[in-house]
Amino acid sequence: MFLTSIGLMSDKFPVHDVFPFNIKAFQSTRHIELTSRISFFSGENGVGKSALLDSIARKCGYLPWGGSKTHKAHCNPYESELSKFVRLNFAVKPRYGFHFRAESFFNFASSLDDIIVDDPGRVGYFGGQSLNAQSHGESFLSFFKSYSSSIDGLYLIDEPESALSPQSQVEFVRVLLKNVSSSNKQYLIATLSPIILACPKAQIFGFDGVEIKVLPLRDTQVFKLYKSFMDDPEGFFSLQSKC
């Protein structure tokens, strides 16, 4: 374990009505204790999963590949400020860390192609071929199987399932389990996938309530939704339309 706990200094938030400081779970949660080398942030869109992950990356000095997604016309001056109010406690500081954002992975893959031109041996870290020469899902898995398997450190991963089929999500979980059992790696992952959340012995933090708290898989909102659908696929949308 590298990172052992995350503190939120909500009493010092500069505002309480602008994202991300208006998120109720952030206002009510002071301390998050990490007990597993695989931890998940789970919850609906807009509840702060990616925002907290991004703030941890900024606090650690990890590059958010692809830069800011904020456009000048819609600028929120507080969007990247959460890291100033996050406190990280480490058992041991990792020598290496990586912030993986699915939305900007193409930019990272393209940057890697430029590096490979000058240093062809670097491609060995990514499965032996350019990530851009593979499908989106294949390149994701190649990254996780090769690069994040070969270098110890803290990995912050935002919605890896965005390019992975259900079968590839299963493979992704297998990679995680292999990596933490055979080397010194820690993963914090924001995900909407019940398949990934089912990773054995992982810790799940639910963001949907008034405060961030540890939940068993079957109590997460995403698991309940998928179970409701799988129990009655034909009647699911009829039921939803009546809500």
pLDDT digits over 84-130, tens only? Answer: 999 999 999 999 998 987 665 555 555 555 545 555 565 555 555 55
- Can you give the length of the chain in residues? 243
Instruction: Please report which confidence band the pLDDT of residue 75 belongs to, taking 50, 70 and 90 as the band edges.
Output: low
Q: pLDDT above 90 covers what percent of the chain?
A: 61
Which has the higher per-residue pLDDT, 137 or 1?
1
State the pTM of this model.
0.84
pLDDT of residue 176: 94
CA–CA separation, 184 vs 137, rounded Å? 26
pLDDT of residue 67: 38
Contact 216, 201 (CB under 8 A): no
CA–CA separation, 13 vs 11, rounded Å? 6
- Going along the chain from its start, the domains and CATH numbers come out as 3-242 (3.40.50)
Strand locations in the chain (E): 3-8, 31-33, 38-42, 86-90, 97-101, 153-158, 185-190, 203-206, 213-214
Tell me how far CA of residue 51 lies from CA of 56, 83, 135, in angstroms.
9, 9, 28
